[in-house]
Amino acid sequence: MSAPHPPPQRIVSLLPSATEMLCLLGLSDRIVGISHECDFPPGLQDRPRVTQSMLSPTLTSQEIDERVRTQPMTGQPLSRLDHDRLLSLAPDLVITQSLCEVCAIGFAEVQDAVRRLPSQPPLLSLQPHTLDDVFQALREIARWTGTLQRAEAVLKNLQDRLLAVQNRSAGITNPRRTLLLEWVDPPFSAGHWSPQLVEWAGGREVLGQAGERSRSLAWEEVTHADPEVLVVACCGFDLARSRHELPLLRQAPGFHDWCCTRNGELYLVDGNAWFSRSGPRLIDGLEILAHTLHPQLHPAPPGLPLAERFPVAVD
C-alpha cells in the first residue's frame, strides 16, 4: 500500500515502540491516541488510551504465563480495544503489529475495527525480528508520515552508536557466556534482536536464537549452558516489578551451581524499557549490556542507568 498524501495528521499508535519512533521523528503533536502500554516518552501521558489490559496487576508471573498459554483455548482476551474511543478519535493512520499478541491487540481485531471506521484509514502493521528490521520499521513509519529526512538523521545517530559498540567489541576473542532471561516463572530465553545485542556487547547468548521467538526453558537447560553472566530482563515488567521475581530465581533448581551465581555475575535491568520493545531504545540497552559484560572496554553510557547487580542470597 502506498503512503498517504498528504501525510496523516491524526495517528493512533497501538504499539509502544511505534509511539517512541513517532516522537523521535518529531510527530508527537500528531498522535491522538495510544495503547495502555505506551508509557514513553512521559509527555504523552495525557493522550487517550484506546486499549486496556485484561490482566489483573495482582497476577503472579506464573499466572500471567498460564493466561497467555491458555488464551487460544479459553478465548479470554489479554487486552481490549475500545472501539467507540477509536471511532471518536477519527484517525487517519493506525499503527499496530502482528508479531506478538501478548504485546499488543491481535492484528485481526485491529484490522476489523479499522475497517468499520467510516473513513477506513490505512493500517500500518510492523513485525520486526532483528535490529535491522527495527531500523526498517522506523523508515517505514517515516515514509508514511513524510519524515524520511528526519528519519535518516535519527538512524545515523543510532547506527553510529551501534558501530561504536561493535568496534570496541571487535577485539574480544573469548565472548562471555551470557543468558538474557526474558521471564522467570517459567524461565524464557530472549529471542528476536536480543541475542544480537548480546553478541555485539561482547557476549555469546547461550540459549536464545537471533531472529527467532523467545521460548520457555527447563532450568536443566540453564544448568547445562552454565552461563558466566545472567541478565534478568523481564518482558513487560519495569525494574520495580522485576525485583519481585528474584526470590523465584534464587529457588530455581541448580541456581547455586551456575557459574554466574558462583562468581556473583547476576544482573537486573529494565527489560520493558531497554530490551523487549522493538524500538530505538534497544541501542540504549546495547550500551548498558556492553558495559555490564566488559566494563573496562565499554564506558558507562551517559544518562542511562547501569544494570543492577543482585546478591545470590538475601540476609
**Burial class for 246, CB neighbours closer than 10 Å (0-12, 13-18, 19+):** middle
CA torsion through residues 46, 150, 211, 248, sign: negative
pLDDT band, residue 103 (cuts 50/70/90): low
Chain-centroid distance of CA 292 in Å reads 19
User: CA–CA distance from 227 to each of 69, 70, 108, 204, 217 (Å)?
Assistant: 27, 31, 39, 9, 14
Q: Is the preceding peptide bond at 41 cis, omega within 30 degrees of 0?
A: yes
Q: Judge whether residue 282 has pLDDT over 90.
A: yes
CB-CB contact of 188 with 181 (8 Å): yes
User: CA–CA distance from 287 to each of 124, 197, 307 (Å)?
Assistant: 30, 9, 11
CB-CB contact of 239 with 279 (8 Å): no
pLDDT of 3:
66
pLDDT band, residue 68 (cuts 50/70/90): confident
Copy the grid coordinates of residue 15. Answer: 504499539
pLDDT band, residue 100 (cuts 50/70/90): low
Q: Judge whether residue 165 has pLDDT over 80.
A: yes
Q: Going from the N-terminus, what domains does the chain have, and what CATH number goes with each?
A: 11-153 (3.40.50.1980), 176-306 (3.40.50.1980)
pLDDT of 101:
58
- The strand pair at 176-183 and 229-232 is best described as parallel
Length of the chain: 315
| Residue 51, strand partner residues | 81
Report the candidate in 109, 52, 99 with the shortest Cα–Cα distance to residue 75: 109
CB-CB contact of 242 with 232 (8 Å): yes
pLDDT of 102:
59
Between CA 205 and CA 176 the distance in angstroms is 8
Residues 39, 41, 47: CA angle, nearest 5 degrees = 65
pLDDT, tens only, 221-274: 999 999 999 999 999 899 999 999 999 999 999 999 999 999 999 999 999 999
Q: Judge whether residue 309 has pLDDT over 70.
A: yes
pLDDT, tens only, 7-27: 999 999 999 999 999 999 999
Chain-centroid distance of CA 249 in Å reads 21
Cα Rg of the chain (Å, integer): 20
Between CA 183 and CA 154 the distance in angstroms is 31
pLDDT > 70 fraction of the chain, expressed in percent and rounded: 95
- Name the strand (E) or helix (H) holding 31: strand 31-34
Between CA 285 and CA 269 the distance in angstroms is 9
CB-CB contact of 212 with 191 (8 Å): yes
- Name the strand (E) or helix (H) holding 13: strand 11-13
pLDDT of 315:
54
Residues 27, 29, 35: CA angle, nearest 5 degrees = 85
pLDDT, tens only, 32-63: 999 999 999 999 989 999 999 888 888 999 99
